[in-house]
Amino acid sequence: MAQKKQATLDSVSIKAKRNATNDIRLNDFAVGQKTITVSTKTMQLYNLQSVGTLLSQQLPVFVKSYSFNGLATISFRGASAAQSQVLWNGIPIQNAALGVADVSALPVPMINKISIAHGGSGALLGSGNVGGALLLDNEQPEFDTKVHKLSGCIGSGSYGQYNGSIKSTLTHNKWFVSINTFAQAAKNNYPYTNTTGAKHTMTNGKLESYSAMLNAAYQLKPNNTIGVSLWTQQYKREIPPALFEAASVKKQEDQSVKLLADWQMTQTKYTLYAKSSFIVDRIDYSDAAVNLQTNNTVYQYYQETGWKQHMGKAGQLLLFVPVQRAWLPDGNDTQYQNRVALAGAWSVKLLNNKLGIAVQSRAEVINNKQIFLPGAGATYAITDKWQLRANAQRSYRVPTLNELYYFPGGNPRLRPEQGWSQDVGHTLKTSKNKFSFYHDASIFNRNINDWIMWLGGAIWTPHNIAKVHSRGTETENRITYTTGKWTLNTDVYTSYILATTTESYIQNDGSVGKQIPYTPRYNYRMNIGASYNSFYLNYNHSYTGYRFITIDESSWLTPYQCGNIQLLYTKPFRGKILQLSAQVNNVWNEQYSVAGYRPMPGTNWLLGIVAHL
Amino acid sequence: MGRQGSKTIILLLATLLTACVKDTPNPNINSISSNGSVYIVCEGNFGNGDGTLYNYNTATDSVNGDLYRTQNNAALGDVFQSIKRIGDSLYLCINNSDKVVVLNAKTHKEAGKINIPKPRYILPISPTLAYVSTLYSNNIYTINPKTLQITSTLTIPHQNPEGMVRIMDNVIVCPWDTTCNKIYTINTTNSSITLTTKIAGYAPHAILVDKEQMLWVMAGNVTKGKAATLTRIDPSTGNILKAYTFANGTDPIKPAFNKTRDTLYYIQVKYDGSTDGNGIYRMSILDNKLPTKSLIPTLPYQYFYALGIEPSSGYLYIGDPKGFTQKGTVGIYKQDGTLIKSFVTGLGPGQIYFGE
């Protein structure tokens, strides 16, 4: 039995360039699109936390936590949460009724690779890919080896937090099986200061969750593989009171089952693939104080069949047919949403691979309505250290089942949000002596028509009411200095986003010219780290700017900054590998809320130990 | 690093320094100049804790915004439902913050707080007694406005006691419950239910008294499938004098009488963006049919959420919440529906109160 073990830290940089995803569509045909892949080391640092926490501290996206124990959603480049797609092994996993994925309920240990793709790629990824996409992937199966990897992790932290995970991978001849499990419990009884300055301890904040994933694959022939993945989760959460509430008895239980079957055959000239998924999401919410109990279960089936053909020495063609059906039982009635598309992409590398070009298109029928989505992108390497890129895409988002049919308030007359986005950017990579330097900058522009907003009172109803213009810049900057056993690194991510309403169907609408709610103009993320032999110490700092909570900018939340310290130590021990991690979050004890009146914890710590057996 | 390194640094600085718009928002909150005569209850957006109290001074034609925060340096709370003046104090029902906030009517400084679950409306009975209706329970709380204490809890047979009116020593209560087609008369001296009166529909939520001392009860819950009705009742006998049933899907709210109490005004709300059946409606107490045409129609995507009739001028004050996603407005109209002027308020103007 061979074991792959890792005696030292595997990567110097916080984010290393790898293939952003296992998805053929993005890897080979999203030319000109900016992606960032989280390094293995960063994944190790957040091994006991959620994808939402990792993203909020490390990457220039906005994670909106509705409360400490509640739903957390992501948004890119001024897009709404529903316009920011989440893909697991290439399939969309947003709740089909809500149109969003709860990133607080995605544990890092269940995932092997996390990336974000900035900007829309509607032709390749379909509805909801307007601002960008979060890409979650599991490891690619290996065959014809005998590998058995087993690791266990336990952790404990402030406010009654306990976590544990077990991961195992077994490959034997034609078989590949991996199992990931994760469980956590927390009291979340952290201190906070209320609006009058009085100190309190948070109540009704308990969390219990488990997550389990099975990935199995069988090699039919060389380069011909079938696989199946099953991911099941349960989250039981109490929802703490907001500052304007005397108490809370709100509870939420989320259950999800994701089943994915896939097949891929790769030949010299072509690749054929097919994948089918079935997802059930159930959310039970109760608030005994107002006699409220809701149970929502939504189902979605996704099927994609594709053919990739090499054309000449440098060209590739992809044709694929995605089919999606989502349904929401509602009493005696069931609401359906059906989508069928024919999509294609062509990419080519010219001028000795200096120039890369791709064009994409998708014709889709959604409940008998048709839409055509074209796109194109290009990269050009001016030198081996300096590369330019450009991308233009048509994007759209189909209204969710809730927006269409929720009772009361759903609006079946809603039209899809749609528009165009463009971005250009450049990447500089250089190294000299002991320094290496990386810099990437993007400028983006996007116009979306028929932007959907909920208007309400006693009943909330979504309407197509606005045209929204989003534009801004993003930078990624990294400097690494290596000498002897020491490696010092610093990276800075910045984003500056203006997302303003330009037109409204409502007369005298105060939103025109104003920033979209919960879209911070400024986001900064920074890391300063040092590694010596098997030690790694990192200081992480994030800044999130003003978030308006009304569409006319009349009400807002103030900026907040968080500092976090992370320590990782890896040590061989009796033929095994032990990894110790320690984190102190919010070291400056910032009192802040991501959403209004929902205080987040002050300084807190988390210790973990991983044993690779 | 040489020339290429210098270029790199310049590019880096150029892209890092692309901050163009000042991030500090404009507060734009009016300061208080004087006490006005018209209070605007701005509910705020449920779950955002942004209920506010505004005040319009008719003499100076000025608006004073967020009186509570200005005077008390704190947020008022979540879902500001209603306001009532008792003596020299203002009683503010903050529904989703489970409290009644008491303000000095002159200074607007907080004078106290009464913790009551989901308070909706307050009805003064005497200087030492007031009734507080609540949502999601069968309870009506009695409070002593002088001591700011809850003095008793009255339980009625149905949930959601909502609108209340006082006639002599009786309080008549509307339980906004879809299983309820009755209103209850409570004797204030012994706190017992003395009369149960049937109405034309289910889920009564508002009650008024006309110039002939007859009751007008508005009922219905459109989202729960209970058609809206209006019932005129003789309180002395409990007999239904007139019954009106609204068309399917019609959602009338917040009725108000004019000064002479012979003309009833109410809001019909449509949340679907359409203008049909949406606006301010008016009818005489002698009419045998509901009005089919609005007195003040809405624009597309607009609906009204507050209605008050100024006792002295008879002007209509109408609140437009603008979807509860931005600052609302209050329009002042003549009785024929002509707009005189409008002013900006806080989020979700839901009640216009003239302070008595």
Nearest residue to B271 (alpha-carbon basis) of B245, B305, B238, B237: B305
Q: Across A240-354, where does the E strand assignment appear?
A: 250-266, 270-287, 292-311, 315-330, 333-350
Amino acid of residue A585: N
The structural domains of chain A, with segments of one domain joined by +, span: 15-612
Q: Residue range A49-76: average pLDDT? A: 90
B179-214 pLDDT per residue, tens = 999 999 999 999 999 999 999 999 999 999 999 999
Structure tokens at A365: 């029928």
Show residues of chain B in contact with A289, CB under 8 Å: 117-118, 136
Nearest-angstrom CA–CA distance, B300 and B153: 44
> Which residues numbered 6-25 in B keep a CB inside 8 Å of some CB on A?
8, 11-12, 15-16, 18-21, 23-25
Read off φ and ψ for residue A203, nearest 5 degrees. -115, 170
Q: What is the pLDDT of residues B23-64, one digit of tens each?
A: 777 654 433 333 457 999 999 999 899 999 999 998 899 999
Amino acid letter at A300?
Answer: Q
Indicate the pLDDT class of residue B21, thresholds 50, 70 and 90. low
Give the nearest partner residue to B326 out of A408, A475, A511, using CB atoms: A511
* A543-575 residue pLDDT tens: 999 999 999 999 999 999 999 999 999 999 888
Residues near B168 by Cβ (< 8 Å), separated by ≥ 6? none
Contact A550 B325 (CB under 8 A): yes
**Ordered domains of chain B (ranges, CATH):** 9-354 (2.130.10.10)
State the pLDDT at residue B12.
46
Tell me, yes or no, if B135 comes closer than 8 A to chain A by beta carbon.
Answer: yes
CA distance A77 to A458: 32
Interface touch A507/B272, C-beta < 8 Å? no
What percentage of chain B carries pLDDT values higher than 90? Answer: 84
pLDDT at A66: 80
> Are the C-beta atoms of A607 and A155 separated by less than 8 Å?
yes
B5 close contact with A: CB closer than 8 A: yes
What's chain B's average pLDDT?
Answer: 91
Sort out which chain A residues have CB atoms less than 8 A from B9's CB and list them.
none
The CATH class given to the A15-612 domain equals mainly beta
Q: Give dist(CA A502, CA A78) in Å, integer.
A: 14
Task: Return the pLDDT at A596.
Answer: 86
The answer, for B98 touching chain A at a CB cutoff of 8 Å, is yes
Is pLDDT above 60 for A225? yes
Which tens digits make up the pLDDT trace of B55-86? 999 889 999 999 999 999 999 999 999 999 99
Burial of B199 (0-12, 13-18, 19+ CB in 10 A): buried
Nearest to A428 among B11, B25, B326 (CB): B11
pTM: 0.91
Q: Are strands A72-75 and A146-157 parallel, antiparallel or unpaired?
A: unpaired
**ipTM of the complex, rounded to two decimals:** 0.87
The arithmetic mean of pLDDT across residues A426-449, rounded, is: 96
Confidence of residue A364 (pLDDT cuts 50, 70, 90): very high
Which two tokens mark A241? 């009171």
When mean pLDDT is compared over A136-150, A328-342, A527-541, A588-602, the highest value belongs to A527-541
Integer Cα distance of A441 and A435 in angstroms: 20
